[in-house]
Structure 1
Amino acid sequence: MIEEIGTVVQLNDQNVWVETVRRSACQGCRARSGCGQAVMGDLLDQSRQEQKNILKLARGSVDPIAVGDDVVVGIPEQALIRLACLAYGVPVMSVLVFGGIGQWIGWPDIGVVFASALGLIASIVSVKKISRHWSCDFRYQPVLIAKRIASVKLG
């Protein structure tokens, strides 16, 4: 389970709205101070370094929660891998397959390029259709895992 901590901003009987802060990968990296990529990222676009997202989640059997509580939101690793394969793998494979078919048929290079473009367009349409279908599937939705208990230091 991939987890993220968020803050409850609104709730009702069925749903909970949780605000999370998306940070860039550079902010969590140990080599940030010596990395040229981090410096360029800071110079080019600081507004993208931290963005707030609000997620609408089904209210499960988590302890009583209130607005302002910190909660843990998670999504299964398998769901994330499947979604990444759908978003990245299907278009790449479609371009290669359609271009390969165009070349196998004996089309000139421009025909192979058009076949590849047709494969890309077909994959975008199919990925959009599949993702719309998966958006209703509870296995691909983030879930509210638990209420986060703040650690208290004694002494």
Structure 2
Amino acid sequence: MIREDGRIIAVADDHLWLQTTQKTTCDSCLGRHACGQRLLQNLNESHGLLKVPLLDAVGDTYRQGETVTIGIEESTLLRATMLAYLMPLFLLMLMAFVGQQLGGELLSIIGALLGLGGGALWVRHRLSKEDCHSRFQPRLLK
């Protein structure tokens, strides 16, 4: 399970809004005090807002400003990554190959673009389904 801490920004009846800070490898580097990259990272520190559903809990038990831990299974994250990246890439290569076989370089380029766009639209449609969407949501751990 991949865990992350977040600070509660807002509490609703069925979900929490959390603010998480994205971490980089600079935090574990021994030379971070003498590195200019660390300074740039601190200047451009990115904060993400995350909507976390309250499955078993009641919204009244959480307060704004409180820190909670959320988590997501590694297998779920791997499936989501493969769905989002590999399917459009696979369709890009397949359609480029079909275009090459049908008529040469121009049709190969057009096929590749159609495959990439079609793959992205397929992923968007697949992730818009409610059962799929809820499966990829992080869960409150504590």
Contact 1:134 1:140 in 2 (8 A): no
Aligned residue pairs, count: 139
Q: TM-score, normalised by structure 2?
A: 0.79
- Where does 1:17-36 land on structure 2 (aligned, <5 Å)? 17-23=17-23, 25-30=24-29, 33=32
SS at match of 1:71: strand
Task: Report the residue type matching 1:69 in the other structure.
Answer: E
Deviation per CA, 1:75-122: give whole Å up to 9, x if none: 1112211111111101111111011112233x1212211111111111
For 1:84 and 1:41, how far apart are their aligned partners in 2?
A: 30
Where do 5+ consecutive residues of structure 1 fail to align? 147-155
For 2:67 and 2:38, how far apart are their aligned partners in 1?
A: 33
Aligned to 1:11: 11
Aligned residues: CA RMSD: 3.0
For 2:124 and 2:89, how far apart are their aligned partners in 1?
A: 15
Distance 1:124 1:137, change over 3 A: closer
Structure with bigger gyration radius: 1
Quick check: which one's helix share is greater?
2
Aligned to 2:40: 42
Q: TM-score, normalised by structure 1?
A: 0.73
Task: Report the residue type matching 1:74 in the other structure.
Answer: G
Where do 5+ consecutive residues of structure 2 fail to align? none
